[in-house]
A and B are shown apart, each in its own frame.
Chain A
Amino acid sequence: MELKATNISFKYPTAKNYLLKDINLTLDNNKIMGLIGDSGSGKSTLCKILSGYVTNYEGAVTFDGKALPNKGFKSIQLIYQHPEKVMNPKWKMEQVLKESWDVPDDILNEFGIQKSWLTRFPQELSGGELQRFSVLRSLNPKTKFLIADEMTTMLDAITQVQILDSVLKVVKQRKMGFLLVSHDMDLVDTICDDKIYLKDINGV
């Protein structure tokens, strides 16, 4: 599979200058890629473009040669830094997961999710525990590509290892594509096969 961005440019409607200019990028499921950039450099915007959440850009994004769908399930899933912002605060965790798919028990175990957490509300769990749910929710069987935008930045080192270890197992098993976006060079060097610096491909 191939996720391809051709001549992507983006600027905010009110801004004078382009944030992203003429970005060309090809990602596949053979290599785990790392994307590195300073804060404010447009990493997150690029992620949103690649996953189809920002659509007012110039250029084209294709997945296996086809344009990204604008309705239905998105086979390119995006995971944010703050899990508490992507969950309905009035839903219990069970319902949050179910919105995406029925997760089998063995995968719940693999991600270290306790049965008792399922009946809690998001605010009753810590960031690390919520991020496990957020990741698992995005691992719907229809997901082909995962973009992790600073997914573990707010977590302690131990939880970071646990979550990435579990995700990478699933990614390898299902032969999914994975893009890790981070500012942590050590982390990128540890888990990625190759890395891209945003400033090298951004023509601003």
Chain B
Amino acid sequence: MEKLLDVENVSISFIQYTKGLNQRELKVITDLTLDISEGEILAVLGSSGSGKSLLAHAIFGILPENANLNGKIKYKGKELSQEDKEELRGNEIALIPQSVNFLDPLMKISDQAIGHTENDAEKKEKKIKQREIFEHYNLGPEVDEMYPFQLSGGMARRVLVSTALLSDPKLVVADEPTPGLDEKTVHETLNHFKHMKDNGVGVLLITHDIHAALEIADRIGIFYSGYVIEIAENKDFSGDGENLLHPYTKALYKALPANGFELTKGHQPLHGEIPKGCPYYDRCEMRFDRCRDERPELIDLGNKKVRCFKYEEGAEDGT
């Protein structure tokens, strides 16, 4: 399978005014590394407010003016410039936004799904295609004439999914597609992603819902305090979590009500308070001395990756 997207050491910071004309740089994403191939679903799992939606915005080149983006975002091996992103977005890469609030409230559904067209012939052609895809997702002709406020939650989700698929994208980025939906609709939405995967589309699922991630993702990237601390395979989230590598991922797995509801103390460092060394140092049970001042890199272990000195080659056990 061909590699689609490579995100390497991406960091995003914002310039903020504190008092008067004093500025400070607030780092929200410190080090984000992940990759995604054709026909693969990769979930990025992080708590709400942790800044993971910024990843989607960075890929599409729609970060706000005061944001600083560092690191590389590569598509099919080629590093993307802002112009490339503008060229690719809506064509080969499509975004499924969080909610219908991203639609124009005064525009009919079918018109905005089709988007800009040069002439009538193109419009007709696109209209046929749009109808085909909408039909496939169980959206009847009456939906074409509706305005966004007339859609139910599940229908809205189907509209967003089918609109994203209109341009035959190779890569779909879904930003928090599940909150606010009832169980049946969540299941239905996740099935759409499985279906895309079967058609060879790469899906990047950005979510805080571990159940959703485990239901469909092939690999899961764990986002903690601005870092990707582990990329684990779905099958590792089983049994006692013994195949999970990072102590945070283990704790997260064991905290699920079905897996013991185990208590772990501590909290994620806030933006602006991120320590110099390992972000998990304060809470870690198996930390080394060096973890306090030295930041571990993401170690590549074939299909998995982990950001922890314990898994470095030649690392000794214990402290």
- List residues of A whose CB falls within 8 A of some B CB: 38-40, 112, 114, 124-129, 154-162, 165, 183-184, 186-187, 189-191
Contacts across chains A and B counted by CB atoms under 8 Å: 69
* A40 contacts across to B, CB distance below 8 A: 182
- B-side interface residues, number (CB < 8 Å): 27
Residues A162 and B47 in contact, CB atoms below 8 Å apart: no
Give the docked Cα–Cα distance between A38 and B262 (Å): 27
Does B69 lie at the interface of the complex (its beta carbon under 8 Å from any beta carbon of A)?
A: no
| Interface contact A158-B252, CB-CB below 8 Å | yes
| Contacts A40-B182, A128-B47, A159-B47 given; does A186 touch B256 at CB 8 Å | yes
Asked if A126 meets B261 with Cβ closer than 8 Å, knowing A112-B266, A112-B267, A156-B252, the reply is no
Segment 15-56 of B: residues with Cβ below 8 Å from A: 47-50
Task: Determine whether the beta carbon of B183 is less than 8 Å from that of A162.
Answer: no
Interfacial chain B residues near A155, Cβ < 8 Å: 47-48
Per the bound structure, the CA–CA distance linking A128 and B224 in Å amounts to: 14
Q: What chain A residues lie within 8 Å of B261 (beta carbons)? A: 161, 190-191
Q: How far is the CB of A183 from chain B (nearest CB, A)?
A: 7
Structural contact, A127 and B48, CB atoms closer than 8 A: yes
Interface residues of B in 173-215 (CB under 8 A from A): 179-183, 208, 210
- In the assembled complex, the CB of B35 is this many whole angstroms from the nearest CB of chain A, namely 24
B264 touches A158 (CB 8 A): yes
Q: Answer whether A127 and B257 are a contact pair too, CB < 8 Å, given A158-B252, A158-B264, A161-B264.
A: no
Secondary structure of the B contact surface, majority rule:
loop
Chain B minimum-CB-distance residue to A125? B270
In the complex, chain A residues whose CB is within 8 Å of the CB of B251: 158
Contact of A157 among B180, B183, B255, B268 (CB under 8 A): B255
Q: Using known A-B contacts A126-B50, A186-B256, determine if residue A154 contacts B263 with beta carbons closer than 8 Å.
A: no
Cα A190 to Cα B260 in complex, Å, equals: 9
> Contacts A38-B183, A126-B268: A157 and B210 contacting too (C-beta < 8 A)?
yes
- Chain A, residue nearest B182 (CB): A39
Interface residues of B (CB under 8 A from A): 47-50, 179-183, 208, 210, 251-253, 255-258, 261-268, 270
Closest B residue by C-beta to A160: B255
| Closest-CB distance, B222 to chain A (whole angstroms) | 10
Identity of the chain A residue whose Cβ is nearest the Cβ of B264 in the assembled complex: A158
Q: A126-B49, A126-B50 are in contact. Are A154 and B264 (CB under 8 A)?
A: no
A/B interface sample: 7 pairs, CB < 8 A: A39-B182, A128-B47, A159-B47, A162-B264, A186-B256, A187-B257, A190-B261
A residues within 8 A CB of B267? Answer: 112, 114, 128-129, 159
Q: How far is the CA of A69 from the CA of B246 in the complex (A)?
A: 51
Q: Which are the 9 A-B pairs with shortest beta-carbon distances?
A: A186-B257, A157-B255, A190-B257, A39-B182, A126-B49, A156-B47, A186-B258, A187-B257, A158-B255
Chain B residues closer than 8 Å to A190, beta-carbon distance? 257, 261
Are A183's CB and B210's CB within 8 A?
no
